[in-house]
Amino acid sequence: MKRKYIKIVLFLTSISFIITFLCNFAISSAAQGKTFTRVEEVPKNKVGLVLGTSNKLSNGRQNPYYSYRINATIALFKSGKIEFVLVSGDNATQYYNEPTTIKKDLIAGGIPQEKIFLDYAGFRTLDSMVRAKEVFGLERVTVISQKFHNQRAIYLAERKGLTAVGFNATDVTGNSGLKVHLREYLARVKVFIDLVFNTQPKFYGERIEIK
């Protein structure tokens, strides 16, 4: 009986690994040639969509993922590769507001306030991509985040009718980077679950024109 349970556990573990591998492969393959690290190589788009994250880590230190996305957005704007910035992030409570925090740092970096639009309901990457199309009326967009995140965003965008490329902010190495990358594997499996069940954004709202 014990040997039977071991076989079942090994079988389920193997299936989980195979599913995770296939989901990761599908998303990475679909984004092949659509993410860019060098500013001069990025196709020009009207809007750059920076995906939000907390500016601080749980220990109170600056979140490098956040800082690198800010720097990447400023570089893209100053190079003329984007005309406007759409900041999509979590604003779940009055005490946690990713879009407003990012906007302040983008303005401090030289991007004019009137060139920045905020999406306060970007609770998940899926929400951000769907709302970019349905609420902000975008047909094309340059996503700004780390490469692994851009790949997932591009996959979701294209499944929702939005053409996207990604500009890769600097990635994070070390233990903190490893933890995020491990979570990314699970997030990619969740992508397909959401697509199968046609998961919708938490909120839509009135149309907002970026101009």
CATH code, domain carrying 175? 3.40.50
Average pLDDT score over residue span 102-125: 97
Q: Residue 204 domain-assigned? A: no
Q: Are 152 and 184 in contact (CB under 8 A)?
A: yes
Measured CA to CA, the distance from residue 35 to residue 38 in angstroms comes to: 10
Give the SS3 label for residue 162. Answer: coil
pLDDT of res. 69? 98
Which of 11, 13, 14, 21 is CA-nearest to residue 188?
21
Virtual CA dihedral for 116, 122, 127, 133, nearest 10 degrees? -10
Q: Are 63 and 56 in contact (CB under 8 A)?
A: yes
Burial grade of 144 (CB within 10 A; 0-12, 13-18, 19 or more): buried
Measured CA to CA, the distance from residue 28 to residue 14 in angstroms comes to: 21
Q: Residue 160 domain-assigned? A: yes
Sign of the four-CA dihedral 29, 173, 186, 65: negative
Q: Residue 208 domain-assigned? A: no
Q: Residue 186 domain-assigned? A: yes
Measured CA to CA, the distance from residue 20 to residue 210 in angstroms comes to: 37
Q: Provide the domain limits for residue 74.
A: 2-196
Reported as a single tens digit per residue, the pLDDT across 79-101 is: 999 999 999 999 877 678 999 99
Q: Residue 14 domain-assigned? A: yes
Q: Residue 201 domain-assigned? A: no
Virtual CA dihedral for 118, 185, 130, 73, nearest 10 degrees? 30
Reported as a single tens digit per residue, the pLDDT across 7-34 is: 888 888 899 999 999 999 999 999 999 9
Q: Residue 118 domain-assigned? A: yes
pLDDT of res. 8? 84
Q: Are 84 and 48 in contact (CB under 8 A)?
A: yes
Split into its structural domains, the chain has a count of: 1
